[in-house]
Every structure is written in structure tokens, then in C-alpha cells.
Homo-oligomer: A and B are copies of this chain.
Amino acid sequence: MSHPDIFPTLTGKHNLSLHVLTDRNWSRGRSMLEVAAAAIAGGATVIQLRDKQASTRILINEGMALRELTAQHGVLLIVNDRIDVALAINADGVHVGQDDMPGELARTLLGPDRILGITAGTMEEAVAGISAGADYLGISPIYPTRTKDDAGEPVGLSLLTDISRRYSTPLVAIGGITADNATEVLRAGATGVAVITAVVAAEDITAATRQLAIRLHL
């Protein structure tokens, strides 16, 4: 793969601008590694390994391959939910939702140095996540989305704005984000965006990622 240039960082310590979440069900039969490589070529700055159906052994094997790929390209690797897998593959961090491990426990198991992302769909969840030591909050779902039945009612852009005015924790917007609405999401206060179908279900994953990267000024 060609290596993208070093990205300008929006967040200082880490570049949390453009998360691509793996999703077996939306990848049209392409392998997780193939999808990730194409997304990285298009400018993804974070790959998030998410595979709720896979056995731990498969997650470890997929994760180790993604670890090698992301390290080669200077891209962050974050594991959804599974702190055991994140530690085993030496991922950069973990993202936990409200059905996953509580934030404080997650921080304890992860240690102080790895990235902890916590999903928040309300101001209360955002405050709890910040208190638990989140390095970023995943604000979700911004718009209606096809991938998560249990994602709750769209919170729109107002929650992003409210949180960003009160707190300095980086906010990653997720849920229905595309190249068409990415600009308004940033204007509302997001530090970055996370996408699934907009990238992994695209015919040309690299082109779809690049469209987003351009809107994010990457």
C-alpha cells in the first residue's frame, strides 16, 4: 500500500479525525484487512476493530493483522468493547458503549496510557464518561443509521454543540455521517467522525474515505 502523508492532528496527542469501524456484515464479503487497508489508503486515521459475532480467537487473529497494518501506516488501532483483545494485540485503545464495561473499570484494566473512548448519547452520559477518564467521547447516534438497531434516537447536532461548549474532551461523532454532512458535524463541535457504511459498504472504499478526509481537511 502507498503510505498517506503524516496527518495534521486535530486533537494534539492523537489524530482522532476519521475513524473507520470494521463491520463484517456491511463489507460485501471483503476481508477486514482488505477493508482497513483501503480505508487507510484513503486517509482513515483510526481503525476500530468491531466484530460482535467473532470468537475471541478470530478477534485476536484479525486484531494482530490489523495491528501490523496500522502500525506500518502510523494509524491508530482501537478495539470495540473487548479490553482483553486490545491488551493481547497491543492496540492503542478501546472504545466502550453503554452495554460494554463501565468506564471506570475499563480505565483501570487499560491503564493510564491507552486511549479510552466512551459512547455518550446524553449530557449525563457525557459527564460520566469524562469523569471515568475518557480520552474522547463517541457521540451517538447523530443521524439515523442502518447499522445499529439498538443505537437509540438520533441526538442530532445539538448535543455535540452543548458538550463542546462545556468540555474540552475530544468528541467523535457517529451515526449516519457521510461526506455530505461531515462539514456541519465539525461545525457543531465534533473533533472527528466515525463511519461504518459510508466507507466499508462503498464500492471504492479508498475513494469514499478520501471524500470524507477532504471534508475533514485531512
List residues of chain A with CB under 8 Å of any chain B CB: 55-58, 60, 81-85, 87-88, 96, 98-102, 105, 108-109
Contacts and interface: CB of A to CB of B under 8 A. Distances in A.
Total identical chains:
2
A57 B102 contact: yes
A105 B57 contact: no
A56 B81 contact: yes
B81 A101 contact: no
A88 B105 contact: yes
Interface of A is mostly: helix
A109 B81 contact: no
A104 to B, nearest CB: 10
B88 A55 contact: no
A85 B88 CA distance: 14
Contact of A88 (B58, B81, B109): B109
Nearest to A110: B84
Contacts of A84: 82-84, 87, 101, 109
Contacts of A60: 101-102, 105
Nearest 6 pairs of A and B residues by beta carbon: A84-B84, A83-B84, A55-B99, A56-B100, A57-B99, A88-B105
Nearest to A81: B56
Contact of A101 (B56, B83, B96, B101): B56
